[in-house]
C-alpha cells in the first residue's frame, strides 16, 4: 500500500467511525455490546460454537399472527395484512426504508461483443445505469452491469445475476464478513472472521457461468460498489448519499444491503426491455455479504424468479436470535453497520436480539411463494455464518409457504452435511468446502430448473 493509499484508508476509517458515533448519538446509545472474535480461541469474546448455548431466545415471532394477535388463516390476509406488517418492521428496524424520491435510472449499453466462454459462443453486453443526479450534480452514480447470453439462442433465455465484480475469473466472491470488497472501498473487519473461500466453482470443474450456459441460460454480474460503497464513510455518497443530497442518514434510512438490492431491481428493469432475456426468469445469487443482499433483493422484489443465498449469515438468512458465530453486535459495529438501518444498532445496545419484532424466517417468508435456495458451509471453515441458524430460518418460513399452497423444507430436523433438501419450494444444503458458493451451484441450478414455469 502506498503512502497515499494508507492516508486515504485512514481518512475513510476516521469518517466511518465518526458516522457510526453520530448514529449512536442520534439514537441516544451510550455503548454497544462487543461483537464476537472469529479466530482467536483465547479471546474472552470468542464466538460461540456450542449448540447448548446457541438459542438464548428460542421463541420466534409468529409469521402468521397479526400485530393485534389475530391469526392469519388465508392467503388474502397474508398479502393484505400480515406481509405489510412484516415489511414495515424490516424497513424501520433492520434494513431501512427506500425513499420515495429515488431518482430514475437510464441504462446505456456501453459495448456489445461476441466471444466464447468455454465451448459456448456468447454475446456479452456491458452496461452503465446512469442515475439521474440533477437533484445533486456533485454526486454521480453509475451502476456497472454485465450480461452474457448464448449467441445461438433462438428465444429469450433465463438469466442468473450475481452480485460481484467485473473482469475477474469466477467474478462474484463476496469475501468474508467484514473483508474489503474490490469495489466501493474497504470496510473495517470485525474482530476475527473466517478466511475467504473460492467462489463460482468447487474444487475443480466448470465455472458458475459455464454451468449456467450449459443449461442454455445467460448470466449477469452487477457490481454492488457502483451502487453504494461498502463502508460507513460512503453513506453520504452513492445512491444513499445522492437521495439525501450528501447529508447523513436518518435512523430508519436504508443501508447498503437495501441499496444493493434496489440496484438489482433496476437491473431487472433493464432485463425487461432486452429481447434476448426472459425477464420472468431472472434469478439472483450472492455469497457472504452479497448473500445478504441476495435474500433482501428476492424478499422485496416479487419479480425475481428465485435466489441462491450463499453463506449469508448474520444480517442475511441466519436467525438474529442465534448465538453462533457472527452475531448482531458484529453487524452493529463500525465495520458493518452501514449494511443496515441505523435503528438496528439498538439491538446491540439498550435492547436485546429478542426484542427484534421480526427475524430472518420472516425475511425468507417474504420470498414466498417463489422458490429460494439457502446455502452454507460446514462449521469447519464456515461456522461464522451459522448454517444451522440459516436452516432454522428456512424451516421457520414453512408455514407461510404452506399457506400459499407451496411446499416447505419437509423437515425441521437439521440434516447431515451434504444433504440436499430440494423437494420443496424452500431448499437448503450445507456443504463441506468452507466459505464458498462453489459446491452448491449444481444443486441450485437443478432446483431452479425444476421451478421453471
> Known catalytic residues?
288, 435
- The residue behind cell 448465538 is 323
Beta bridge mates, 149: 123
Tell me the longest C-alpha to C-alpha distance in the chain. 63
Cα–Cα distance measured from residue 296 to residue 291, given in angstroms and rounded to the nearest whole number? 9
- Specify whether the CB–CB gap between 347 and 320 falls below 8 A: yes
Cα–Cα distance measured from residue 78 to residue 73, given in angstroms and rounded to the nearest whole number? 8
Distances (CA, A) of 407 to 63, 93, 423: 16, 29, 8
> What is the SS3 assignment for 48?
coil
Q: What are phi and psi of 394, to 5 degrees?
A: -60, -40
Q: Which three cell numbers stand for residue 230?
A: 461498502
Cα–Cα distance measured from residue 301 to residue 213, given in angstroms and rounded to the nearest whole number? 25
Q: Which helix (H) or strand (E) holds 116?
A: strand 105-117
Beta bridge mates, 301: none
Q: Which three cell numbers stand for residue 52?
A: 447448548
DSSP string, 394-439: HHHTHHHHHHTT----S-SSPPPTT--B-SSSEEEEEESS-S-SGG
- Specify whether the CB–CB gap between 202 and 439 falls below 8 A: yes
- Specify whether the CB–CB gap between 208 and 219 falls below 8 A: yes
Terminal CA-to-CA distance of the chain, rounded, Å?
50
Return the closest-CA partner of residue 88 out of 252, 241, 213, 206.
252
- Residue 267: half-sphere exposure toward Cβ, Cα within 13 Å: 35
Amino acid at each position: 500500500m502506498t503512502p497515499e493509499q494508507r492516508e486515504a484508508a485512514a481518512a475513510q476509517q476516521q469518517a466511518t467511525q465518526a458516522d457510526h458515533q453520530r448514529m449512536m448519538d442520534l439514537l441516544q446509545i451510550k455503548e454497544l455490546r462487543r461483537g464476537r472474535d472469529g479466530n482467536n480461541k483465547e479471546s474472552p469474546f470468542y464466538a460461540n460454537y456450542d449448540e447448548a448455548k446457541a438459542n438464548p431466545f428460542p421463541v420466534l415471532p409468529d409469521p402468521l399472527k397479526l400485530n393485534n394477535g389475530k391469526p392469519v388463516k388465508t392467503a388474502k390476509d397474508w398479502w393484505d395484512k400480515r406481509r405489510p406488517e412484516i415489511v414495515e418492521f424490516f424497513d424501520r428496524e433492520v434494513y431501512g426504508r427506500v425513499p420515495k424520491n429515488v431518482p430514475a435510472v437510464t441504462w446505456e449499453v456501453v459495448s456489445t461483443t461476441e466471444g466464447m466462454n468455454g465451448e459456448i459462443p456468447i454475446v456479452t453486453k456491458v452496461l452503465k445505469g446512469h442515475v439521474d443526479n440533477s437533484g445533486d450534480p456533485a454526486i454521480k452514480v453509475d451502476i456497472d452491469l454485465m450480461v452474457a447470453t448464448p449467441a445461438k439462442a433462438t428465444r429469450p433465455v433465463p438469466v442468473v445475476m450475481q452480485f460481484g465484480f467485473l473482469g475477474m475469473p469466477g467474478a462474484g466472491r463476496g469475501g468474508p464478513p467484514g473483508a474489503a470488497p474490490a469495489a466501493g472501498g474497504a470496510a473495517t473487519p470485525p474482530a476475527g472472521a473466517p478466511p475467504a473461500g473460492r467462489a463460482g466453482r468447487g474444487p475443480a470443474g466448470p465455472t458458475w457461468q459455464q454451468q449456467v450456459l450449459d443449461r442454455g441460460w445467460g448470466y449477469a454480474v452487477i457490481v454492488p460498489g457502483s451502487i453504494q460503497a461498502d463502508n460507513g464513510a460512503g453513506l453520504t455518497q452513492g445512491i444513499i448519499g445522492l437521495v439525501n443530497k450528501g447529508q447523513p442518514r436518518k435512523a430508519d434510512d436504508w443501508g447498503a444491503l437495501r441499496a444493493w438490492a434496489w440496484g438489482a431491481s433496476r437491473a431487472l428493469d433493464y432485463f425487461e426491455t432486452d429481447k434476448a432475456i426472459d425477464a420472468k426468469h431472472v434469478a439472483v445469487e450472492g455469497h457472504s455479504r452479497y448473500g445478504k443482499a441476495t435474500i433482501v433483493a428476492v424478499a422485496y422484489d416479487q419479480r425475481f424468479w428465485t435466489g441462491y443465498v450463499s453463506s449469508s449469515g448474520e444480517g442475511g438468512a441466519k436467525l438474529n436470535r442465534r448465538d453462533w458465530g457472527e452475531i448482531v453486535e458484529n453487524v452493529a459495529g463500525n465495520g458493518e453497520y452501514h449494511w443496515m438501518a441505523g435503528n438496528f444498532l439498538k439491538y446491540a445496545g439498550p435492547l436485546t436480539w429478542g426484542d427484534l419484532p421480526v427475524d430472518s424466517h420472516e425475511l425468507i417468508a417474504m420470498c414466498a411463494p417463489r422458490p429460494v435456495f439457502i446455502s452454507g458451509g460446514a462449521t469447519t471453515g464456515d461456522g461464522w455464518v451459522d448454517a444451522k441458524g440459516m436452516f432454522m430460518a428456512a424451516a421457520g418460513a414453512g408455514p407461510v409457504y404452506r399457506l400459499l399452497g407451496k411446499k416447505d423444507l419437509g423437515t425441521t430436523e437439521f440434516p447431515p452435511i451434504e444433504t440436499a433438501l430440494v423437494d420443496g419450494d424452500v431448499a437448503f444444503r450445507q456443504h463441506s468446502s468452507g466459505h464458498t458458493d462453489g459446491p452448491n451451484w449444481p444443486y441450485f441450478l437443478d432446483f431452479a430448473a425444476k421451478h421453471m414455469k
